[in-house]
Structure 1
Amino acid sequence: MSLAGVRVGVAMAASHCNLHRAVATMKALVAAGAQVTPILSPEVLRVTTRFGTPDYWRRQVTEAAGTAPLTTVPEVEPSGPEGWFDVLAVMPCTGNTVAKIANAINDSPVTMAVKAQLRNGRPVVLAVTSNDLLGMNAGNLGRLLAVRNIYFVPFGQDDPVRKPRSLDAHVEEYLIPTLEAALRGEQLQPLLVPWG
C-alpha cells in the first residue's frame, strides 16, 4: 500500500526531547506522498526547553509538513464533522496523552483530534513515549490496546536498566508500515520489539 494522497493528521504532544524525531518522520511522510496536517499541543508552543523554543518548533513543523500547524481546539474540531483525515498519528504520544485518551478527556488540540477521528470510526495511530507506561500508566496503556480503531507503532523498553518502566515507539522504522496497516484495519506485528 502507498501513502500517496493519503490525508494524515500528525498530532504532536509535548515530549520535547522527541519532537525532532517526529519532525524527521513527518518529512518521511511527505516524501512518501502523504498530505500531512500538523497539530500541536499548546505546551509545544508555550514552553522553551533545551530542545528548542516555541518559535523554533513552529518553524520546524511548518517546514516539514509544508503547512502551518493547527494549534487550538476550535481549529481542530471540524476535522470530525468534515472528515479531514484518513488516519491520525499521535507522535510523540506522551504518558499524559495516553491517560487522557484512555479516560476520554478532551482538553487540547491533540485530544480533540483523537476524539474527532474516533467519532468517524477512522484509525488513530499512537507512537508512545513515556517513562511510566510500565508503571502508574500501564492500566491506561492496557485499556487503549483493546480499543477499536486505535493502533500502536511497535514499541519497546528504551533503557530497561535505568528506566525499567519506560517505553518508546520505534517511529523511524515502523511509523509508515503502522499507518499502512491501520488503514487496512490491522495492528502491525510484532507490537513489542527490542530496542537498539
Structure 2
Amino acid sequence: MSEGIEWIQDVWALGRIDYYITCARGLSPQGLVERMTDHAPVQMLPGTLTAIEAARMVDLDQVYCVARIGAHGDWSFVVESGGSEGCFLDPQVSESAEVLVFDPQMDHPPPQFRYHRNGELIINSSLFGVERLARGAADLVAAMERVEETEDEPQDQVRGLLRVIGKHFDLSLPEANIVDGALPALIMRTSAPRCW
C-alpha cells in the first residue's frame, strides 16, 4: 500500500466499490460534508466502517450514499459509496477553500476530475482524453497535457494524470486507511442526488 493518489486508478479498475473521492484544503472533514450536503441533516454512525461495510449499507431506498471521512496532511477527504453528486458537485462548496473531486463515472467512463477554488470551477477534466475546461492553473493543465501526449493506454494515462495532480496540490491520501481500514462514517444521502 502506498500514499500519493495514483492508487485511486487501481481501486477504480477493480470496479467493486464506487470510491467517489472529494478532498478539501481549508475545511475540516465535517465542514466539507456539511457543504456537500447543503447543510442537510446527516446521520453520523457509531464507530467506524470499512469501504465494504459502507457500500453494503447503500440500498437506494432509504440510504443512497454512505461516506467515510478523514484528514491527511493539509487535506480533508470524503470517500462516498452509492449515489454521489460526484463531478456535479456545486462549486460553492469551495468558498474560501480548495476542493478536488475525483469521480470514477463507473456507468459512463471515463473518470472525471474537477478543481474548485473560492466558489468557482477552475478545471473540469476527463481523466482520459482531451475534454478539458480550464480557467486557470496553467502549469497544472500543461503537466496534464504532457501526460496525455506520452501515455496511450487509458489506465496509464489516468495514473499519470493522478500523479501530476497529486504533485501539484501536494496531495497524498492514505491508501491503506481508505481501501482496507475503517474510518468514521455517516449516512450522506437518503434520497437520490440531484444529478440523477
Q: TM-score, normalised by structure 2?
A: 0.32
Q: Per residue, is there more helix in 1 or in 2?
A: 1
Q: Per residue, is there more strand in 1 or in 2?
A: 2
